[in-house]
């Protein structure tokens, strides 16, 4: 699908990978509905990106909030062709820690935002995409989800996060099957360690372990524009569907 003149909804748009995705899509000629729960950063980081972007404060896990954001994209830009799920939280906590249980409230919050929130966006966005006229390839829309290398190689304290990201990978194929009849593709990306405020918030022991495992090439964290470039490629390449793509510089994490 061509990015130029298409309309995109990007979640987690105020920071890191989502913000870089907004910039890349705008540079390629899209109109962008940028949504995040952080109103301040939406205003300071996203609003100045120009007349082709709108901002909206949302909670991806909330039904009405995302329904309204999709409706706003339709009202402001006249359609919706691309949805990119970048909103996410880490919620670090061990299964057991000094006799304390992992709080179920935290578990539900991580699953609620990373998994249910992504699916909430998928269902509202895909309904809007069904109204699009198909392009020459029969395509009506593209959905990109953000999983994580932690789905396979979760670190200590990442049990909820890893479970949520493995579930994002797990839903990719059945959602793609469900939406194939409408000409909507669904692809997930599993990033390794990228330099964002999320990775900066990790306990130094965890991030150092991840950095130590960057033993191939290049020996560094990923940069957000590298993720955003992959999102743009997924949108533009009609033969990518129902799969999860790693972008991790070949990093392999240890077992401890």
- Quote the least distance from Cβ 133 to ligand NAD, whole Å: 30
* Identified catalytic residue from 161, 189, 190, 228: 161
Nearer to ligand NAD, 35 or 184 (CB): 35
Bridge partners, 145 (sequence order): 85, 188
In angstroms, how far is the first alpha carbon of the chain from the final one?
A: 42
- Quote the least distance from Cβ 136 to ligand NAD, whole Å: 32
Nearer to ligand NAD, 59 or 226 (CB): 59
- Summarize as ranges the residues that interact with ligand NAD (CB under 6 A): 11-12, 14-18, 36-38, 58-61, 86-89, 113, 117, 146, 148, 191, 193-194, 196-199
- Quote the least distance from Cβ 250 to ligand NAD, whole Å: 15
Question: What is the three-state SS of the chain?
Answer: CCCCCCEEEEECCCCHHHHHHHHHHHHCCCEEEEEECCHHHHHHHHHHHCCCEEEEECCCCCHHHHHHHHHHHHHHHCCCCEEEECCCCCCCECCEECCEECCHHHHHHHHHHHHHHHHHHHHHHHHHHCCCCCCCCCCCEEEEEECCCHHHHCCCCEHHHHHHHHHHHHHHHHHHHHHHCCCEEEEEEEECCECCHHHHCCCHHHHHHHHHCCCCCCCCCECHHHHHHHHHHHHHCCCCCCEEEEECCCCCCCCC
Half-sphere exposure of 132 (CA within 13 A, CB side): 27
- Quote the least distance from Cβ 60 to ligand NAD, whole Å: 4
- Quote the least distance from Cβ 128 to ligand NAD, whole Å: 18
Nearer to ligand NAD, 21 or 132 (CB): 21
Nearer to ligand NAD, 7 or 69 (CB): 69
For strands 100-101 and 53-57, give the pairing: unpaired
Helices 159-180 and 117-129 cross at an angle (nearest 10°) of 20
- Quote the least distance from Cβ 230 to ligand NAD, whole Å: 12
Residue 239 annotated as catalytic: no
Active centre residues (catalytic): 161
């Amino acid at each position: 699908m061509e990015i130029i003149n298409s309309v995109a909804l990007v979640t987690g748009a105020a920071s890191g990978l989502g913000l870089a995705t907004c910039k890349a899509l705008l540079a390629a000629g899209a109109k962008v509905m940028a949504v995040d729960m952080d109103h301040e950063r939406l205003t300071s980081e996203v609003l100045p990106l120009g007349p082709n972007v709108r901002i909206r404060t949302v909670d991806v896990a909330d039904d009405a909030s995302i329904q309204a954001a999709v409706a706003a994209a339709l009202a402001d830009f006249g359609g919706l062709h691309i949805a990119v799920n970048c909103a996410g939280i880490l919620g670090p906590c061990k299964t057991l820690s000094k006799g304390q249980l992992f709080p179920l409230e935290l578990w539900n919050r991580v699953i609620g935002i990373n998994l249910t929130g992504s699916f909430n966006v998928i269902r509202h966005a895909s309904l809007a995409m069904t109204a699009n006229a198909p392009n020459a390839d029969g395509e009506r829309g593209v959905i990109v989800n953000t999983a994580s290398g932690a789905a396979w190689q979760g670190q200590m304290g990442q049990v909820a996060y890893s479970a949520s990201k493995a579930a994002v990978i797990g839903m990719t194929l059945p959602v793609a099957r469900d939406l194939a009849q409408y000409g909507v593709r669904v692809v997930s990306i599993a990033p390794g360690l990228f330099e964002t405020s999320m990775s900066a918030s990790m306990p130094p022991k965890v991030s150092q372990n991840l950095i130590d495992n960057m033993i191939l090439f290049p020996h560094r964290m990923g940069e957000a524009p590298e993720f955003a470039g992959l999102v743009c490629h997924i949108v533009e390449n009609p033969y990518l569907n129902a799969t999860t793509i790693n972008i991790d510089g070949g990093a392999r994490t240890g077992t401890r």
